[in-house]
Amino acid sequence: MNRLIDRLALIAFAIVITAVVWALLHYSGEWFFPVATLTALTLLVIQNQKLKKRLKDLGDDGGSRK
């Protein structure tokens, strides 16, 4: 029974996410892809900076690789 509830919850969640994505694409029109690209690029740069800081904190100098 628990497995059935999990599957139904997953299907319901997928339907909700599909509706949200459709509404986002439908109502944002031509602005969706430039805004999504800029957002993704910004998040990648932020993540890269965090990873570089963590490597520095762990003692990696970054210049020893060939």
Question: Is residue 63 in some structural domain?
Answer: no
The model's pLDDT over 9-35, given as tens digits with 9 standing for 90+, comes to 999 999 999 999 999 999 998 999 999
Cβ atoms of 28 and 35 within 8 Å: the answer is yes
The model's pLDDT over 37-50, given as tens digits with 9 standing for 90+, comes to 999 999 999 999 99
Question: Is residue 53 in some structural domain?
Answer: yes
Q: Global pTM?
A: 0.59
Question: Is residue 21 in some structural domain?
Answer: yes
- pLDDT score at 64: 59
Question: Is residue 43 in some structural domain?
Answer: yes
Question: Is residue 18 in some structural domain?
Answer: yes
Confidence label for 1 from pLDDT (cuts 50, 70 and 90) = confident
Range of the domain at 21: 2-57
Structural domain tally of the chain?
A: 1
